[in-house]
Structure formats: structure tokens, C-alpha cells
Amino acid sequence: MGKTQILDGNVVSEAVKEELKPRIEALKEKGTVPCLATILVGEDPSSATYVKMKGNACERLGIQSKRIHLAEDTTTEQLLKVIEELNKDTAVHGILLQHPVPKQIDERKAFEAIAIEKDVDGVTSWGYGQTALGFGIYPSCTPAAIMQIMNFYGIQAEGKHAVVIGRSPILGKPVSALLLNANATVTTCHSYTKNLPEIVAQADILVAAVGKPEFIKGEWLKEGAVVLDAGYNPGNIGDVEYESCFKKASAITPVPGGVGPVTISMLLKHTVDAAERG
């Protein structure tokens, strides 16, 4: 077994941002400043950190960040009104509603209220449907990041068996669709899946999107598998047991510094794409 390649998310993220810089300049010369509106509802510290990171990443690149922070007791109707206003605001090109929102809010209804042309985080069912059918313009950012990492490192999906662990609307399901559209044979696993280690053993490409620290063990893997770990658990721990998986894999994303930074870059890219579409 040769050396395991580390799929460095920081390198991929920088490459995406470099490509965006001249596009942002060109937009500004025409009088358009790309703008991402972020909505944070409540005081969840992790959500607050994620929103801040996204806003700061925008500003570092010259994308305007319009940060909206709503009270913990915001109602669905109040949130819908804010989204409606952002939909109408021609200076705003992308809208990100940070998940999760407080319990009293109907999150799905709020996501669905985001105009399709501003759904840069790929959360609407319309956007998901387009992605699944193969013509989505803004797939969810973490699935887009996984495909971007594979493209950057020349990892072909075609003809490979990709196993995705997780089927959430923002991660497992859309990444399964993107891999299928890239001509992989896809198996999507979830909490009812039986004999998970046996299925993982068939994977040429493994995507971990389960939300359980170090859940996937190296001994489950086929020798030479490519491992993409989307997991981000408290303490900066991924969904795969890194050391044991590193030994078996031909390539692996670290946590932190793997899928996470590329996810943010994809959000920036989608915002610039949206600004260019006008």
C-alpha cells in the first residue's frame, strides 16, 4: 500500500477563492457588490460561530455580508417576513438561514420561503430537486465541497462504488445525488441500514455524514478507499476514526481542515455566481 494522500481542504478552499477574486473585481467595476445575507435566530453558540465565520470569509474576499440576528423567541411569521424582505432586496444576492433555528419555528417553511435564485445554500426543496435531476445551480454547500475536493485532486467518481453514510436533506441526500450524477454507483446508508461495515467494505469512495464522532473504523474500509469525512463533532472530531482509516485509505480528508473550509468557499462561490446572474 502506497502513501495515503491527505486531501487538504485549505488548499482547495484557497484555490476556489483565488478564482473568485477577479470575478468579484469585474462585478464591482460594473457597480455590483456581491452580497450574502445571513440570518441567525437565537443564541446557539455554535450557530453564532458558524455565521460569524461565513460573514468574515465574505468580507475578507470583498463580498458584502449583511448580518441579521433575530431574537430567540422569533416566530415563524416574523422570520418569513424578514426572508420576504431579503427576497425583494435587489442588493442581496444570496440568503443563508443558519440551521438549526429555535424549536418554535417551522424551519422547513422558512427554508422554502427563500427565493430559488437566492438559495445559495441549497436548502429549498426546489433547489434540491434541481440538484437531484442534474441541473441544480446551487447544490448544498457541503455536498458541493465534497465534489470540489474530488475534482481538485482528480478523483473520478465514474464507475466507482460510492457509499454515503447519512441521508440528511443538506448533506447525505444531495451528495448521493451529485455522486450518482457523476456516474458513481451509490449506496446511501442510514440508521436503519443493516450490516453497515459490510457495505462500507465495498466502498471505493466513502462519504461520512453521520454526525457521530469516530463512528467509522479503519478495519471496515477496503484497502485504498477514498474517504471524505464531512463530520464535524465537538472537539473538532470527524465521523471517521482518522488514524485507523488513514492506514487503509489511499486518500482522506482531515478534520479540521478538510471538508469544512471548502464548504465556506462554495457558499462564497454560489454568492458570486448569483451576483453575476443579477
**165 near ligand NAP, rule: CB under 6 A:** yes
Interface with ligand NAP, residue 211, by CB under 6 A? yes
Stated length of the chain: 278
Contact assessment for residue 96 and residue 120, using Cβ atoms and an 8 Å cutoff: yes
Is residue 44 part of the annotated active site? The answer reads: no
Indicate if 130 belongs to the active site.
no
- Binding site for NADP(+): what residues are annotated? 166-168
By CB under 6 A, residue 102 contacts ligand NAP: no
CA distance 141 to 262: 8
Q: What is the closest distance, in whole angstroms, from the C-beta atom of residue 229 to ligand NAP in the complex?
A: 9
Q: Is residue 37 within 8 Å of 55, Cβ to Cβ?
A: no
User: With contacts defined by CB under 6 A, how many residues of the chain interact with ligand NAP?
Assistant: 25
Helix (H) or strand (E) holding 205: strand 205-208
Identify residue 1 by its one-letter amino acid code. Answer: M
Instruction: Say whether residue 186 binds ligand NAP (CB under 6 A).
Output: no
263 binds ligand NAP (CB under 6 A): yes
Q: Which of residues 242-261 bind ligand NAP (CB under 6 A)?
A: 259-260
Does position 233 bind ligand NAP by CB under 6 A?
yes
Helix (H, G, I), strand (E, B) or coil at 229: strand
Nearest-CB residue to ligand NAP?
168
d(CA 176, CA 168): 10
Q: Is the peptide bond before 100 cis (omega within 30 degrees of 0)?
A: yes
Q: Measure the CA–CA gap between 28 and 22, rounded to whole angstroms.
A: 10
The piece of 70-78, 109-117, 184-192, 244-252 that touches ligand NAP (CB under 6 A) is 184-192
Least distance between ligand NAP and beta carbon 190 (Å)? 4
Catalytic residues: 54, 98, 121
